[in-house]
């Protein structure tokens, strides 16, 4: 399998120092996110709003109803996507693996498209029951259904074949993409606009209610992933070696897929399609600190959270008062960084 990680990176640097630096980056990104926007809020206003009662009614609405839920959503989604990438790359021994390659993102996208295009055909009572939650709920169900189907196809008896899972994920992604194409073809102009903006990702619709629905899933998935770090380290040596070291490989695979589906599915459901965070963040950290998952997973959560918050800040500032879709910003930043890493790795191997 392709490896972008130099052996020289193993155990180099000080991961604890890197964790502190990333925590500082998250704090700086959060302050910038809360103080930047059409309604100017300085550091003094922010402190007064968070620790006192010195804000006007308008500024309190801006801070507590718009910027804080948007910031919290960005932190949660960024951490979830980055950790999902680490889990899948560790599971598949493939640095190109991310939530999109096993079909989770495509399945969630198909669920969202079904809700947008065919949601009007639902009985009024059922549609009213979901309300504005129809698209996120359909996206979450789509991601989960794809994951369950993937796991069923790749599991024979009590053994799950990783290679089969990877191939099945590619096939399911293609199938979901084809179905999405058919639905896009029959969509009307308004639905096409909704599909386009949802597919490019955004945190503009962040609310406390959406965060309350997604955060428990994402939080549980992140905590579970941290418990898988030692098993993923053992799996890097090969399945047979990991089993000899006492790792229940089958159980590890199941929990890793479960955590990925929960984190990535919930993220896509509330934010739409946002690429490159799950692909680029693990590579950046492996170059900086090495492949030890005990440090890689928490640091990926911090760096993914910070990058997504900063990308969101750019998306709503660069063409203010309008807003660019977040997926465009992550692609514009992530694709050149990824190409640079490929070129850098090729040059290292050529020396």
Does residue 34 form part of some domain? no
Q: What is the pLDDT of residues 306-318, one digit of tens each?
A: 999 999 999 888 8
Does residue 35 form part of some domain? no
Does residue 311 form part of some domain? yes
Residues of the domain holding 205: 16-21+41-343
CA atoms 299, 302, 305, 306: torsion sign: negative
Computed over every residue of the chain, the mean pLDDT equals 81
Does residue 50 form part of some domain? yes
Q: Is the pLDDT of residue 95 over 80?
A: no
| Integer CA distances (angstroms), 169 to 163, 211, 232, 280, in order | 10, 28, 20, 20
Helix (H, G, I), strand (E, B) or coil at 16: helix
Q: How far apart are CA 169 and CA 173, in angstroms?
A: 6
- pLDDT category, 5, cuts 50, 70, 90? very low
Does residue 262 form part of some domain? yes
Q: How far apart are CA 192 and CA 175, in angstroms?
A: 20
Does residue 3 form part of some domain? no
CATH of the domain at 172: 1.10.3470.10
Q: How far apart are CA 74 and CA 180, in angstroms?
A: 26
pTM attached to this predicted model: 0.83
Q: How far apart are CA 277 and CA 170, in angstroms?
A: 19
Q: What is the pLDDT of residues 64-80, one digit of tens each?
A: 888 999 999 999 999 99
Does residue 136 form part of some domain? yes
């Amino acid at each position: 399998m392709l490896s972008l990680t130099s052996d020289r990176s193993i155990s180099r640097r000080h991961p604890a120092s890197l964790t502190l630096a990333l925590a500082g980056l998250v704090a700086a990104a959060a302050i910038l996110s809360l103080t930047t926007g059409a309604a100017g809020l300085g550091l003094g206003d922010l402190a007064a709003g968070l620790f006192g009662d010195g804000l006007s009614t308008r500024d309190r609405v801006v801070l507590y109803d718009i910027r804080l839920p948007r910031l919290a959503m960005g932190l949660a989604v960024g951490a979830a996507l980055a950790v999902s990438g680490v889990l899948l790359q560790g599971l598949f021994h493939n640095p190109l693996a991310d939530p999109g390659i096993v079909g989770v993102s495509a399945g969630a996208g198909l669920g969202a498209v079904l809700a947008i295009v065919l949601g009007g055909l639902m009985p009024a009572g059922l549609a009213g029951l979901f309300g504005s939650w129809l698209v996120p709920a359909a996206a979450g169900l789509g991601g989960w259904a794809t994951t369950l189907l993937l796991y069923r196809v790749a599991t024979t008896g009590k053994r799950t074949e990783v290679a089969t899972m990877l191939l099945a994920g590619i096939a399911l992604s293609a199938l979901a993409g084809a179905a999405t194409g058919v639905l896009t073809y029959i969509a009307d102009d308004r639905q096409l606009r909704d599909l386009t903006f949802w597919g490019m990702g955004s945190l503009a619709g962040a609310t406390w209610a959406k965060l309350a629905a997604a955060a428990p899933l994402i939080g549980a998935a992140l905590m579970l992933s941290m418990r898988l770090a030692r098993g993923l380290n053992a799996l890097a040596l090969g399945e047979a070696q990991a089993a000899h070291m006492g790792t229940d490989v089958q159980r590890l695979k199941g929990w890793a897929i479960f955590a990925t589906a929960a984190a990535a599915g919930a993220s896509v459901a509330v934010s739409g399609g946002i690429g490159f965070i799950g692909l680029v963040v693990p590579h950046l950290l492996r170059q900086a600190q090495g492949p030890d998952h005990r440090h890689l997973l928490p640091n990926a959560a911090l760096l993914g959270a910070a990058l997504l918050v900063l990308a969101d800040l750019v998306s709503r500032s660069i063409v203010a008062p309008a807003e660019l879709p977040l997926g465009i910003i992550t692609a514009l930043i992530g694709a050149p960084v990824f190409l640079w890493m490929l070129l850098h790795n090729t040059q290292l191997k050529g020396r």
